[in-house]
Amino acid sequence: MTYQFAHIKCGYNHPPWDQILHQYAPFMPYDLEETADEYLITMPLPGFKADAVHISLSRNSINIEAEPPNTSEKAKNTEEKEKAHKIVSMGKYIWNRPVKVEIPVNDEIEERKVKARLKNGLLKVSFTKKPKITVKVEEEQ
The pLDDT assigned to 141 comes to: 85
- Taking residues 104-133, report their average pLDDT: 91
The residue ranges of every structural domain in the chain are 26-128
The pLDDT assigned to 131 comes to: 84
Terminal Cα distance for the chain, rounded: 88
SS3 percent helix, strand, coil of the chain, rounded to 5, is 20, 35, 45
Q: What is the pLDDT of residues 14-69, one digit of tens each?
A: 556 556 656 666 778 899 999 999 999 999 998 889 999 999 998 889 999 998 87
The pLDDT assigned to 58 comes to: 85
Amino acid at 12: Y
Q: What is the pLDDT of residues 66-82, one digit of tens each?
A: 988 764 444 455 555 66
The pLDDT assigned to 16 comes to: 62
- Beta-strand ranges (E) seen in the chain are 31-34, 38-44, 53-57, 61-66, 99-104, 109-119, 122-129
Least Cα distance to 29 among 46, 16, 12 occurs for: 46
Mean pLDDT of the residues in the chain: 78
Q: Which residue has the higher pLDDT, 128 or 87?
A: 128
Percent of the chain with pLDDT over 90: 37
Domain 26-128 has CATH 2.60.40.790: yes
